[in-house]
Amino acid sequence: MNWHIGVIGGSGLAEGLDLEDAQEIPVSSPFGKPSGPVVTGRLAGRRVTFLARHGKGHRLPPSAVDYRANIDVLKRCGVTDVLALSAIGSLHEDMAPGHFVAVDQFIDRTQGRKGSFFGEGLVAHVSLADPVCARLSSLAADAAEAAGGRVHRGGCYVTIEGPQFSTRAESALYRQWGAHVIGMTAMPEVRLAREAELPYALLGMVTDYDCWREGEAVGAAEVFAVMKANAALAREAVRKLVEALPEQRTPSAVDTALDGAVVTAPAARDGKLVAMLDAVAGRVLR
């Protein structure tokens, strides 16, 4: 099987990837409006498809991103694996601004976001015990190191609703919970990728120390200054990842995450929802 890497990241990332034969393609989703059109092309001979999570010009706040539509359109494009790039705050002294973290666990503190493709009329329960793909995460960490970055392998990401940054009390609480980094976009993105049977890895760029350190507070200007300074490194990490992929993609356990997960009897399934899930779950619903 051939690799097709889907990249979800900042709106300025695609331009610097220098994809060969790049095309901007509008792709619609029955689940809503994706953040924008996808940009697809080739990098080091492999297919890469990019989607700006916040839309062109960063027009969407975290709570307004239609995560279901984004994952659905990537699946419709034939993506096999998803690499998410995200700005994160650090809740751990050793994870300093400018470092990268290959996240492997998550705590969800978001409110009201649509966190599943399934629902009334078609119920499914996937396992999320190990939410990231260990293979893809390791490859991403290797790539970030090869690009010259300082990388931490593993870390727990607490996702807050935003758009405000956390209070000092919240920041201290998340540290007590064992969280290592904090952000606003990983959930429900990782949940939906698993339901869509897409192996997912998140490479987070530390931009700040949140506000748990006495006398310090995070601001948007600080966050975006660090992001801008490290954008070239992030693009190079994507390139290194694609270049290092094995010649052929061997199966991942995530490829069959829906096996046994759908519990609604065929006769009781909502036909409209079944049709909407043609890309995400067609493999098990046909």
Report if residue 278 sits inside a domain: yes
- Given 81, 108, 208, 255, the catalytic residue: 208
Tell me the CATH number at 219. 3.40.50.1580
Range of the domain at 222: 85-285
Cα 183 to Cα 275: distance, rounded to the nearest angstrom: 33
Cα 43 to Cα 245: distance, rounded to the nearest angstrom: 11
Report if residue 173 sits inside a domain: yes
Supply 10's token pair: 């900042």
Cα 63 to Cα 184: distance, rounded to the nearest angstrom: 8
The tens digit of pLDDT for each residue in 167-218 reads 999 999 999 999 999 999 999 999 999 999 999 999 999 999 999 998 888 8
Report if residue 210 sits inside a domain: yes
Report if residue 18 sits inside a domain: no
pLDDT of residue 134: 97
Report if residue 246 sits inside a domain: yes
Name which of 92, 241, 66 is nearest 157 in CA terms: 92
Return mean pLDDT, the chain: 94
Which residue, chain included where needed, has tokens 């993609």? 249
- Mean per-residue pLDDT, 113-127: 97
The tens digit of pLDDT for each residue in 5-45 reads 999 997 556 566 789 999 999 999 999 999 999 999 999 99
pLDDT exceeds 90 at position 221: no
- Given 72, 81, 210, 255, the catalytic residue: 210
Report if residue 55 sits inside a domain: no
Report if residue 220 sits inside a domain: yes
- Counting the structural domains of the chain, the total is 1
Active-site residue flag, 208: yes
